[in-house]
Structure 1
Amino acid sequence: MAAAESYSARHLSVLEGLEAVRKRPGMYIGSTDSRGLMHCLWEIIDNSVDEALAGFGSRIEITLHPDGSVEVVDDGRGIPVDVEPKTGLTGVEVVMTKLHAGGKFGGGSYAAAGGLHGVGASVVNALSARMDVQVTRGGKVHQMSFRRGEPGEFRDGKDGPSPDAPFSPFEQSSELKIVGKAKRGVSGTRIRYWSDAQIFLKTAQFSYAELADRARQTAFLVPGLQIVVRDRRGVQRDEEGQPLPEVEEVFHYEGGISEFADYLAIDPPLTDTWRLQGAGTFTETVPVLNDKGHMVSTDVEREVVVDIALRWGTGYETRVKTFVNIIATPKGGTHLNGFEQGLLKTVRKQAEAQARRLKMGKDKLEKDDVLAGLTAVVTVRLAEPQFEGQTKEVLGTSAVRQIVSRTVEQELTALLTSSKRQLKQQSSVLLEKVVAEMKSRIAARTHKENQRRKTALESSSLPAKLRDCRSTDVESSELFIVEGDSAMGTAIPARNSDFQALFPIRGKILNVQKASVGDMLANAECAAIIQVMGAGSGRSFDLSAARYGKVVIMTDADVDGAHIRTLLLTLFFRYMRPLIGAGRVFAAVPPLHRVEVIRGRGKPNEYVYTYSDAELTALLKKLERSGTRYKEPIQRYKGLGEMDADQLAETTMDPSLRTLRRVTMTDAEDAERVFELLMGSEVAPRKDFIVTGAAGLDADRIDA
C-alpha cells in the first residue's frame, strides 16, 4: 500500500479536530466567500501583530502572490520549535494542528492578545490546500509543510512550491526540518499558504483595499510597528488603466491613535487632538484548571488600560472607532458606553457651570449634542475580554464601562478646566459649539412638531409653490424637484397629476455642508423641501413619515444644473440620509439633443433623442452609413424649459419611457469624503482637485 493511501492512528490524532473545521468552516470563519478568505488572513496577521504588541517584533510583511497564495513574515520570537511534553510534538505542529492550543491560553506569553493564537492558525491550516511554515529561531531556520492540516512533505518541481505537487504525509513521527542557518539574534516566522479550492467559492478572492485599510488601522494602533503590504497579482491598475506588476504600501505611525484620529477627521479642527489615558482594576471569577485536572472557580484580578484620542471639529458628523486589544468592535459595547457616559457627564457639568454666559436657559445637553463634530478612537486593553458572540463585534465585560467612564471624567475635566491659555480658549469654543447644537436640535424638534400638528387638509401646511399629486399611496407617488419657473411651466402639463408632484426651486440653494443646522432651517428653500417631504431632518428624520416614494431631482443638462443637483444631494445626504440609503432619491436624465430623421415616401419624420455628444456623433455616423437623411440644424436643449410638454413627458417624466439615475450610497464614508471635498469649507483640497482635473475638462461643456 502506498504511503499516501495508508491511514495510521497518527493521522487520526492529527485530523480529529481539523476534520470538524473542514466539515463546518462557517462555524470558524463565518463564510466560504471572500469574507471568509479575508478572515483566514486576519488570523495569521493577528498572530504577528500580537508578537509586536508584546514587544517582540517591529515589522510585518504581507504579500499576495500571483498563484493565489499569501505570505506573512514577521520578526517576532518565532513559534517554539522544541518538543511539547504532553503531545510529544514540536511547538510548530501543536500550533498548526491542534485546536485550542497556543501561547494565549496559559496567560504567561501574552498579557493582552487580539485573538486566540493557535485556534486561528490551525483553522487556516485545515482550510488550506498547502501551508508552509518557516521559523527562524536559535540560529537555525526550521520548516514544516502541511496539506489540509496534515503534516508531511511536498516534492516540488523546478517551478517552485505548489499545492498540486506530490505529497507524502509523515507516518510514524513528524520531522521539523532544519533548512538553513540564521545570524545570531535574528528570529521570526514566515507562513505561506494556498486556500483550499474544495472549501472556498470560486469567486472568493483577497481584497487589496481591505487589506491595506486593516494594515493602516493596525499600524495606527501599534505605534512603531511597520507593516508592508504587497500585491503581485497584477490586478491593480495605474491611472491609464494599465496593469501594475507590483503594488507596495508601507504603513508606519509613531503618533499612534492621535494620528489615527487626525486621519479619520475630515472637518477643520475646533480643538487639538487630546489624549485621555488611565487604568483600573476589577475582580473576575473565572474557571481555572487545578493540579488534579478539575475546573475550579477562582477570583482573578484584571487590569484595564484605557487610551483614548479625541478631537472636535467644525462639522456635525460623529466618528467614533472602538477597539479591544486592537480588535475592532464596530458595534461598540461596554467601553463605548463608558466613553459616552463619561463624555456627557463631564461636558454637561462644565456647561452648567457657565450656563449664564452660554445662555442655556433650563435646557439640558443630550448625548447627540456633545457627539456632534467629534472624532475619537477608544482603545482598551485587558486579558481575556468577553465578547457578545463569536464575531467579537461587541465587548461584553461589564466592569470596563465604569473604568472608561472614570478615566474620561478625570482626564477631560482636567483639560476643560485648565488655566493654560490655549486649552482655556479651546474649552470655551467647544462649549459654545455644544450649546449651539442643543439649540439647533430644539429648534428642529419644534419645527417638526408644528408640522405634525397641522392636518394635510390645511392649506398652510405645505408651501404654496408645491403642485401636489392626488394619490395618497406613498409607494407610487413621486416628487419632482424642478429647476426654475420656466421648467415648471413645461412640467405642469407634462406630468401625470395622479401620482407626480412638482416643487420648483429658484436656482442654487444654500450649501449645507458649510452651514449650521440653524442656518439650514432658516433658509427658505431648504426648509420648504424638508417641509414638503414631511419626515423631519437630521437625527430626527423618520423615513416612514416621508410623503413620497420617489424624489426625482430634475435639473438642466448643463454645468449649472449639475451644480444645483449637487447642492440638493448635499442637503439630502446631510439631513435626509435614510432616503438615499433606501434608494428613493433619483436624478432625471433629460436629453441633450433631438434629431429629426427624414423617413420620406409619405411616412412621418421620426424624432430620436441623444443624451451625450458621443451618443449624437455615433447616431449621425450610423444615419450617414445607412444613407438616411436628417434635418439640420440639430436641436440642442440648453434647458428643460425649451422642451414642449409632450417632449418632456416622453423623455424625462413618463415612467414607461424615461430614464432615471438612482442615487446610491454603497459606502457612506467615501460619499462623505467626496461631499466634503466638493462642498466643504477646506479650499486647498478642492483647488488641488480642480487643477488636477482641469486638463481633462471639455471646454464646450462650460455654459458661458
Structure 2
Amino acid sequence: MPDSQSTASQSTAKKSAPGKAAQAGREYEAKNLLVLEGLEAVRKRPAMYIGSTDTRGLMHCLWEIIDNAVDEALAGFGRHIDVRLNADGSIHVADAGRGIPVDIEPRTHLTGVEVVFTKLHAGGKFGAGSYTATGGLHGVGASVVNALSSRLDVEVDRNGHTWAMSFQRGKPGVFDGPGPSAGFTPGSGLRKTGRTAKGVTGTRVTYWPDRQIFLKQAQLSAEQLLDRARQTSFLVPGLRITVNDDRGEEPVETTFQHEGGISEFVDFLSVGEPITDVLRLQGSDHFVETVPELDENGAMTPTDVDRRLDVDVAVRWSNNFDTVERSFVNIIATPKGGTHVQGFERGLVRAFAAGLEGTRLLKSGEEVIKDDVLEGMTAVVTVRLPEPQFEGQTKEVLGTPPVTRLVARIVESELTEFLKSTKAATRAQARLVMEKAVNASRTRLAARAHRENQRRKNALESSSMPPKLKDCRNADGERSELFIVEGDSALGTALRARNSEFQALLPIRGKILNVQKASVGDMLKNAECASIIQVVGAGSGKTFDVDQARYGKIIFMADADSDGAHIRCLLATLFFRYMRPMVEAGRIFSAVPPLHRFELTNPKKGMEKYIYTYSDPEYQRKAAELTKKGIHFKEPQRYKGLGEMDADQLADTTMNPRHRLLRRITVDDAAGAADVFELLMGNNVAPRKEFIVEGAYQLDEDRIDV
C-alpha cells in the first residue's frame, strides 16, 4: 500500500507540474528582479570581465595585476617587477612603484587600498594627474581579480610604513593563518604592520584564484607568462622583470631586461635574412576628443579634451614572405589590431606609392597594395595616449577614431623620407624593399590569374585533371583517398594494389619544391606543386576552402629511407603553408610501409605465413621471438623501396584500410609548428645547423646502418 500511494502522489505531481510552471512563467514582478551589488556581478558573470573561466581567463587576471605594476614603471616609478608562481597555487606580484594610496577617499570614506580592490570602476586612471598613458582605464582590473580569488593579500610600502589588507572572494577581513582555507573574520580596515626605510615604496599582491569560478583544467601557463614578460621588457626599455616558477621539482628563475626597446623586439621577431636595417618611425601629434567629465556638481558634462598621441614604430623587411605584426597601446597588446594598425598600414601604402614615383620599377597598369608591402615585413607598432577607447575589458582592439589619421600621417612622412633618401647606404636598402614590394605585386597578380583559371574548371571532371592522376571512381565524400606516390616505379605496383573504388593515385617526380623558401609565384610555376593543388581542388592560401576538397584523406606514400623522409617533409611543408585547413582538420596522413618481411616455413596454426616489421628494433625482437618459439623462417627480406613489393604485399601492408598503418599529421600549436617549419625548411642556415649539431649528440649510434 505505501508503494501504491507513493506512485499515485508522484503521478499527481507530474500532472499538475505543467500548470504550475505556466503560472510561474507568467509572473514577472519587481520581486523577480535580481540586483547584483558590488563584486557579486563579477562572480555571477566572470566571462564578461576576463573573457572566460579557462586558462585564458586565469592568465588575464595575472595580466591585470602585472599591468598595474607596469603602469607605475611607465609613469617613471620603479624599474623592476617580480612575479612568482608559488607551489601552493598562489601568484605573487611585487613592484617598486609609488604604492597604492593608503589615505581615506573622501566620497566612500574608505582607504585607497580598499577602494581599488573592492569598488568597480575605481582607480587613478580616469582623470589627469596620476598617469598620462596607461594600459588600465576601466578601473576594474584589481577589483575583478579580487572578486575571483578565494584569498588576496596586499601589502603597500608608503609613507615610511608597511600597510596590509586581506580579502576573501572580494570581501575585506582578517585570516588567522596562511592560505585560503584559514579561518576568516570579515571586517574593514587597513593594518599598519611595520616600518620601512625612508623613500621605500611599492606594492605586493598575493592571490589564490578561486576554484569555485575557474575550470578544473585551467592552469597558469609559464610559457605565456615568460612571453608576456619578455614582450613587456622590450616595450619598456630598462625595466627588469623577474619570473620565478616554484611549482616544479626545481624552481626556475628567468629575468628579462632590454635597453634597446622595440628595435630589439623587431630583431627578436624577424625571420629570414634582413634586407633593411630596423627603421624607427616616430612622431607626436594632438587631437581633440569629446568625453563626458564630472563637473563640480557631480554631473557628467560633454567636454572637449586635448589629447597627445605618441607614435613609435619599429619595422624591418627581410627576404622572407611572412608578415609579423605586433601592436600595442600603452604597452597593452592589441592582438586584433584597431585604429592604430589601420593608420600604420595606410601610411605604409601611401609612403610606398610616393617612393615608387619616378623609379620606373612599376610598369604601366601595375600597382602596389597593402599585402604587397606587408610581405616579409616585421613590425612593432606602439602608441601612447590618455584614456584610449578599447572594445571591451580584454582590450584586444583599439577604437579611438582619430588615431588612424594621425598614425597614417606620421608613418607616411617618416617612411617616405627613408624611401626617397639620397644617402648611398639608405638608398640601396630602399631600392631593395621597393623591388620586393613590386615583385610581390606581380606574384599576387599571377596567383590571382591562376585561381581564376582554377575556378573556371570543373574540379570533378577528371578530364581537367593532370593526365598522370589515376583517379578513383568515387572522388566525392569522406571515404575517398588520394595517395601521393613517390616515383613512377611505385605507381605501377600501387595501381594494382589499390581499391579503385575510393583510392586515387598521383605520382610525383622526385623531390618537390621547398615552398618555405619560394614565393607564391615560384610555387605555382612548379609542375608538381601545381598538380597537387589542382587535384585537391580546394584552392590554396587564403582562398583555400576545405569543404571543396575532393578527397577525405591525403596520404603521402614514399620509401622508408632518408629520401622518402625528405619528400614527406617537403609535402608536409606544402600542405601546412598553402592548404593548412586540411592539416588542422586531421585529413593529412603519412603511409608507413614495412622495412622487413619474414616468410615462415613452419607457421603454427593460426599464424600468418608472412610477418612484417616496421623498424630495426622491431625486426630484432621479432627474430628473437620466432627463434625462441622454434618457428623457422627464410632469410628476412629488407625493402629498400616501395617498388620492391609486389601488389599483394603493398596492398596488405600499406594501402588496405584493414591492415595498413597510417600516421596522422596534426597541428596542436600552429605558431610553434610554423617556427619549426621555418627552422628546418627556411632560408636561415645558422639556426638549422645549430639544431642539427645539437641533435647529433642525441643520436643513438647503434641505430646507424653502417
TM-score, with length taken from structure 1: 0.90
Moved more, 72-81 or 105-114: 105-114
Aligned to 2:154: 133
Q: In structure 1, give the amino acid aligned to 2:631.
A: R
Counterpart for residue 591 of structure 1: 594
Q: Is the 8 A contact 1:338 1:405 kept in 2?
A: yes
- Which of 287, 295, 309 is matched with 1:290 structurally? 295
Tell me how far apart the structure 2 counterparts of residues 105 and 517 of structure 1 sit (CA, whole Å).
49
Is the 8 Å Cα contact of residues 510 and 526 (structure 1) preserved in structure 2?
yes
Task: Give the match for residue 659 of structure 1.
Answer: 661
The letter for the 1-side match of 2:204 is R
1:417 correspondence with 2:431 = no
2:340 is the alignment partner of 1:335: yes
Give the Cα–Cα distance (whole angstroms) in 2 for the partners of residues 628 and 183 of structure 1: 85
In structure 2, what is the equivalent of residue 258 of structure 1?
A: 263
1:49 is matched with which residue?
70
Separation in structure 2 between the aligned mates of residue 162 and residue 604 of structure 1, nearest angstrom: 63
Structure 2 counterpart of 1:537, from 530, 535, 540: 540
Q: What is the rounded CA distance, in whole Å, between the counterparts of 2:105 and 2:459 in structure 1?
A: 78
Q: Which one of the candidate residues 673, 689, 693 is aligned to 1:687? A: 689
Please tell me whether the aligned partners of residues 598 and 628 of structure 1 are also in contact (alpha carbons under 8 angstroms): no
Q: Deviations over 1:618-657 (max 9, x none)?
A: 44555566x3625243333222222222222222222333
Does 2:208 match 1:203?
no
Alignment map for 1:324-473 (pairs within 5 Å)? 324-355=329-360, 358=361, 360-455=363-458, 461-473=464-476
Tell me which of 247, 251, 258 is aligned to 1:233: 247
Change (3 A) 1:500 1:458: closer
Query: Larger deviation: 612-621 or 77-86?
Result: 612-621
SS at match of 2:208: strand
Question: In structure 2, which of residues 182, 186, 211 is the aligned counterpart of residue 165 of structure 1?
Answer: 182
1:421 maps to amino acid: A
Q: Distance in 2 between matches of 1:360 and 1:667?
A: 42
Give yes or no for contact 2:389–2:399 (8 Å, CA) kept in 1.
yes
Amino acid at match of 1:75: A
The separation in 2 between residues aligned to 1:458 and 1:29, in whole angstroms, is: 51
The match for 1:75 among 77, 81, 96 is 96
1:390 shift after superposition: 3.8
Cα distance, 1:504–1:701 mapped onto 2, change above 3 Å:
farther
Corresponding residue number in structure 2 for 1:5: none
Q: Matched residues in 1 for 2:246 and 2:515: separation?
A: 44
* 1:77-226 equivalences in 2 (<5 Å): 77-116=98-137, 118-156=139-177, 161-170=178-187, 174-226=188-240
CA distance in 2: counterparts of 1:597 and 1:67, whole angstroms: 60
Q: Which amino acid aligns with 2:102?
A: V
Q: 1:12: which partner in 2?
A: none
Question: Contact 2:65 / 2:142 at 8 angstroms: preserved in 1?
Answer: yes
- Asked if 1:487 is matched to 2:490, the reply is yes
Q: Distance in 1 between matches of 2:165 and 2:392?
A: 34
Shift of 1:192: 0.8
CA distance in 2, matches of 1:502, 1:496: 10
Matching residue's letter, 2:557: M
How far did residue 424 of structure 1 move? Answer: 0.2
Q: By how many angstroms is 1:97 displaced?
A: 1.4
Distance, in Å, in 1 between the alignment partners of 2:596 and 2:396 is: 53
Aligned residues: 671
**2:56 corresponds to which of 12, 21, 35:** 35
Residue equivalent to 1:64: 85
Secondary structure of the residue that 2:39 maps to in structure 1?
A: helix
Contact 2:462 2:471 in 1 (8 A): no
Give SS of 1:28's match: helix
* Mapped contact 2:80–2:96 kept (Cα < 8 A): yes
> Do the aligned partners of residues 229 and 632 (structure 1) sit closer, same or farther apart at CA in structure 2, a change above 3 Å counting?
farther
Gaps of 5+ in 2: 1-35
What displacement does 1:353 show? 2.5
Mean alpha-carbon deviation: is it higher for 460-469 or for 287-296? Answer: 460-469
- 1:451/1:461 contact within 8 Å kept: no
Q: 1:74 to 1:262 in 2, by over 3 A?
A: same
Q: How does 1:553-572 map to 2 (within 5 A)?
A: 553-572=556-575
Alpha-carbon displacement from aligned partner over 1:105-157 (angstroms, at most 9, x marks no partner)? 2332111211247511111112212111111112211111222222222222x
| CA positional deviation for 1:279 | 2.0
Which of 542, 552, 555 aligns to 2:555? It is 552
Question: Residue type of the partner of 2:440?
Answer: E
- 1:642-674 alpha-carbon deviations (Å, 9 max, x no partner): 222222222222233323222222322222221
1:23-59: CA deviations, max 9, x gaps? 2222222222222211111111111011111111210
Distance 1:630 1:168, change over 3 A: farther
Which SS does the other structure have where 1:666 is aligned? coil
Contact 1:597–1:628 (Cα < 8 Å) also in 2 = no
Q: Which moved more, 1:106-115 or 1:587-596?
A: 587-596
Q: Displacement, 1:598? A: 6.3
Instruction: Report SS of the residue matched to 1:629.
Output: coil
More divergent stretch after superposition (636-645 vs 322-331): 636-645
Distance 1:630 1:166, change over 3 A: farther
Closer, same or farther in 2 for the Cα pair 1:202/1:456, shift >3 Å? closer
Q: Is the 8 A contact 1:134 1:141 kept in 2?
A: yes
Contact 2:240 2:256 in 1 (8 A): yes
Deviations 1:422-462 (A, max 9, x none): 11000111111111111112222223333444456887733
The letter for the 1-side match of 2:303 is T
Q: Work out whether residues 477 and 550 of structure 2, in 8 Å CA contact, stay in contact via their aligned partners in 1.
A: yes
Please point out which of 517, 520, 526 is paired with 2:520. 517
CA–CA separation in structure 2 for the residues paired with 1:266 and 1:634: 48
Paired with 1:645 and 1:578, the residues of 2 have a C-alpha distance of: 33
> Following TM superposition, by how much is the alpha carbon of 1:474 offset from its aligned partner in structure 2, in angstroms?
4.6
**Alignment partner of 1:331: what SS?**
coil
Change (3 A) 1:376 1:474: farther
Q: CA RMSD in A?
A: 2.3
CA deviation vs aligned residue, 1:561-591 (integer Å, no higher than 9, x gap): 1111111222222333333233332212222
Q: Which is further off, 318-327 or 644-653?
A: 644-653
1:125 aligned partner, one-letter code: N
Q: In the alignment, is the contact (CA less than 8 A) between 1:482 and 1:502 conserved in 2?
A: yes
1:580 aligned onto 2:583:
yes
Correspondence for 1:640: 642
Partner Cα separation in structure 2 for residue 47 and residue 630 of structure 1: 75
Q: Distance in 2 between matches of 1:615 and 1:646?
A: 22
